[in-house]
Copies of this chain bind each other. A is one copy, B any other.
């Protein structure tokens, strides 16, 4: 029943912390395996799930795609670029949401997830170029 502190766990967690771009599980696998080729995809998935469940990392669910992970656990939100898929932080705190957690047809609210969709600066630029051409 005792949780063990294995090399794999340390490597995956450290890798996630080092990757600041909200990587997908697959990107974490690739990054981990670039240095430790013997660590398997299943292990990385298992460790990421455990981190997300225990609150040591956030799972970010993007429309139409794989889950992304974020090692930052303080309350914040994410913008997802509809064009290139990049994910960025929205650091602005949304205090109002706290007061919204009621009037939900009898549900006991445990949490919420808020994500924005939009275009990142680069894709906006590309859009203008295409429109101009």
In angstroms, Cα B92 to Cα A103, docked, is 7
Interface residues of A in 65-123 (CB under 8 A from B): 79, 81-82, 88-90, 92, 94, 96-97, 100-101, 103-121
Interface size of A in residues (CB-CB distance below 8 Å):
35
Known A61-B63, A63-B59: A108·B118 in contact at CB below 8 Å: yes
Partner of A109, one of B63, B101, B114, B116: B116
Task: State how many angstroms separate the Cβ of A128 from the closest Cβ of chain B.
Answer: 11
Q: Are A111 and B101 within 8 A (Cβ)?
A: no
Residues on A lying within 8 angstroms of B by beta carbon are: 59, 61, 63, 79, 81-82, 88-90, 92, 94, 96-97, 100-101, 103-121, 124
